[in-house]
Structure 1
Amino acid sequence: MEFQGIQRAAGAFQEPLTAEEIAAVCRRAFGPGTRVVSAVELGLGMYNTTYRIDLGEGRPVVLRVAPEPGRQFSSERELMRNEYASVPYLTSIAPLMPRVLAADFTHELIGRDWMIQSLLDGVPAPERLGGYPRPAWRGFFRQLGDIARRVHDIRGPRFGPVAGPGHATWSEAIVVALGRIAADLEGAGLDAADLREVAAVADRRRAALDEVTEPRMLAGDLWTVNVMLADGAPEPTISGVLDLDRTWWGDPAADWTIRMALARPGTERDAFWETYGAPDGSPSAGLRARIYHARHVGAVRLERHRLGNADGVRDSYDEVRALLAGLRG
């Protein structure tokens, strides 16, 4: 086997597999006679460890390996299982998604969850979008708005992560989510008093949160970093979406996609709303948006800490402080 890994510092969050482990996984998935021609670790993503696998016939496949259970935060626990549970609901965008070819959550081979998926056509959007003239980016964001709308139109049975645990009300799902992020931050040695205060505000303002009565699918992490573009197309054309492991049921306005679409008004991103539909501008929606924004910042703080980004962690406190000023008012 030709094996190419990525050199990482000792103790890095993403842990590689050995060539022998990759061969064992492929034999488990495709049969004892399976031969791996090459395995190349991909640098995409910051959570799972991912390999492009050539089996010597047909298209290469993608192996994704979750972190060991003991390295997962409680607010990010078993994300791969969550994605697996989401696939049957996401039929409206199925042609854009990789197909699951095999999955193993038994930990019998490597002590970690793993999944093998088909390889999507195209080029990662962060590598190609900048090569198009900026006016053409509007078409990209119109496509993204259409995809987000199709996801958000999917109705679910309860609030919370798709794989569970579920909650009867949206307010309960939000309060629990904020509490888990805060506990993870404290477990990592970081101050989470600001997130605890946001959770207390959410608890007091349950009535506003519970105006959301119908659980809808939230993609969780759908933005340019998780989108593929058709290679060589005259204008940016979305050919695939990936890494839908943070899906949950709730208010579409709480999705990361909506946060990013709102982040730079007056730019090409405004075209997102042409296909998605206008955001809710009511006072209660504004209150909810501040709570959702704070939750996103808390999750980002946790990720920045994992990546050793001390400046980013520090900046997150200023951002939540500004949100709390509005929430207190």
Structure 2
Amino acid sequence: MDGWERARQVLDMAGLPSGSLADRRALAGGTYNEVEELRLTDGTRYVLKVPPSATTPGLTHEQELLVSEAEFYRGAATVGVPAPRVVGDLFDGHLLMTHCPGAPWGDLPPGEQAALREELGRLVARLHEVTGPGFGYPSGALGPLAPDWRTAFSAMYDAVLDDARRYHAWLPRPVDEVARTAKTAYDALDEVAVPRLVHFDLWQGNILVERTEAGPRIGGLIDGERMLWGDPLADFVSLALLGDIRQDEDFLTGYQEEGGQAEFDAPARQRLALYRSYLYLIMLVETVPRAPGDEHIAWRREAVAPELVAALDEIA
């Protein structure tokens, strides 16, 4: 089946007029799923996500990612956070959603940046009001949701370490040493009692900024495929990718004004270091199945590996 036929079939299954498909184009930025924009003859735009084939190499948790993405958008809708809206259900593993206005967050003047970071803080606090039925990935990639965060997160961490062994991935420290260090902080996970909605991939490329007469505003939070039910602190890693969220006063102001809890006591700092190490492990290990090219691999080793080491040192 070619792309046009696939798109028409998905529109048909969603109860939309497949004969009105006027254009489809690939969208850049996706690193795992295929993403394309569908435009109908009346100007309506949708976004279609297509999962990779079953033989595409990936990490263990990267199964049924679109199940998690759909879960994120449904949760965001309940608290009025701008994000795509799921059209119907998953169609043969394909996700059809509405189009959000704006373009990925880029370089902005300081004044605009501060206001948008505050707005982002308020939106993320609202996301964290959404609670789930258990802890972990809703996709079921690592098994059913767990009754406690320690069980869920330790399984997530073990899975990426197993991927590192399976792919013989380069890491700045031996895999077994990373595992031993992480386990020393697992007691801090027991403080998380309620599973909350966590996007876990809110770097600037997944935040759309829309230009309006009143100034820039956030048009949508997209690419929720890494979504999990867990500790809201886990979102703070990608929100300050390769940095420290504690230095982002504008974001934290908006987050706390909207009711978000952002206290960095000793257990919280341990958990935040764990989540940083988890994301940076993923970013290093995934270069093997992704094969992004020597230049990009070198960048990750130069930029990401030191952050992984710093997080592990903070845990220790």
TM over 0.5: yes
SS in 2 for 1:100: coil
Alignment match, 1:290: 273
SS in 1 for 2:252: helix
Alignment match, 1:44: 29
Judge conservation of contact 2:161–2:179 (CA < 8 Å) in 1.
no
Partner Cα distance (1:233, 1:184) in 2: 48
Which residue of the other structure, out of 231, 243, 246, is the alignment partner of 1:263? 243
Which residue of the other structure, out of 137, 146, 158, is the alignment partner of 2:134? 158
Which residue of the other structure, out of 105, 112, 122, is the alignment partner of 1:146? 122
Partner Cα distance (1:99, 1:57) in 2: 19
Q: How does 1:203-242 map to 2 (within 5 A)?
A: 203-242=183-222
Q: Which has the higher relative contact order, 1 or 2, with Cα contacts under 8 A spaced 6 or more apart?
A: 2
Instruction: Name structure 1 gaps, 5 residues minimum.
Output: 1-15, 107-112
- The alpha-carbon deviation at position 25 of structure 1 amounts to 3.4
Partner Cα distance (1:265, 1:252) in 2: 13
- The alpha-carbon deviation at position 243 of structure 1 amounts to 1.5
Matching of residue 84 in structure 1 with residue 95 in structure 2: no
Judge conservation of contact 2:165–2:175 (CA < 8 Å) in 1.
no
Judge conservation of contact 2:50–2:94 (CA < 8 Å) in 1.
yes
Which residue of the other structure, out of 52, 62, 74, is the alignment partner of 1:67? 52
RMSD: 2.8
Distance 1:176 1:53, change over 3 A: same
Matching of residue 311 in structure 1 with residue 294 in structure 2: no
Instruction: Name structure 2 gaps, 5 residues minimum.
Output: none
Q: How does 1:99-138 map to 2 (within 5 A)?
A: 99-106=85-92, 113-126=93-106, 130=107, 132-138=108-114
Alignment match, 1:200: 180
Distance 1:48 1:262, change over 3 A: closer
Judge conservation of contact 2:236–2:245 (CA < 8 Å) in 1.
no
Larger deviation, residues 208-217 vs 256-265: 256-265
Distance 1:256 1:285, change over 3 A: closer
Alignment match, 1:18: 3
Distance 1:92 1:258, change over 3 A: farther
Matching of residue 325 in structure 1 with residue 313 in structure 2: yes
Alignment match, 1:253: 233
Write the deviation string for residues 105-144 of structure 1: whole angstroms up to 9, x where unpaired: 53xxxxxx21111111233323xxx2x4222210000011
